[in-house]
Amino acid sequence: KQEVTQIPAALSVPEGENLVLNCSFTDSAIYNLQWFRQDPGKGLTSLLLIQSSQREQTSGRLNASLDKSSGRSTLYIAASQPGDSATYLCAARNSGNTPLVFGKGTRLSVIA
């Protein structure tokens, strides 16, 4: 059974800093891994989707990597801004039509 863990649960950084969010999963036979952002009281917004055959994906200031052998994914945020403050969740999918398994998220605060 796939389990996804995100550590730390909360992180506070000053504006402008580059930062890395971590995600680990127990079953390396994943199909893909997604990173989402959730603002307080809101739904989730998909940020990046990495297929199992890929090593990384980039969108603007965001870069996500995937290392199946070690069961880890990272989300790199460059030049953080206060608007990046949110909870970031990663989710793993084990096969094409199986549901996403979510971590509990990392709550990021970027201080101006």
Partner 1 sequence: KAGVTQTPRYLIKTRGQQVTLSCSPISGHRSVSWYQQTPGQGLQFLFEYFSETQRNKGNFPGRFSGRQFSNSRSEMNVSTLELGDSALYLCASSRDGSSGNTIYFGEGSWLTVV
Q: Which residues touch 82 (CB under 8 Å, ≥6 apart)?
A: 15, 110, 111, 112
Q: Residue 45's beta-bridge partner residues?
A: 37
Using CB under 8 A as the binding rule, whether residue 11 contacts partner 1 is answered as no
| Between 18 and 58, CB nearer to partner 1 | 58
* Of 106, 54, 73, nearest in space to 2 by CA: 73
Between residue 16 and residue 35, which ones bind partner 1 under the rule CB under 8 A? 31-32, 34
For Cα atoms 72, 76, 80, give the angle at the middle one, nearest 5 degrees. Answer: 150
In angstroms, how far is the first alpha carbon of the chain from the final one? 41
CB of 7 to partner 1, least distance (A): 13
Among residues 65, 73, 77, 93, the one that binds partner 1 under rule CB under 8 A: 93
| Between 69 and 97, CB nearer to partner 1 | 97
Between residue 56 and residue 85, which ones bind partner 1 under the rule CB under 8 A? none
Residues near partner 1 (CB under 8 A): 31-32, 34, 36, 41-46, 49, 51, 89, 91, 93, 95-105
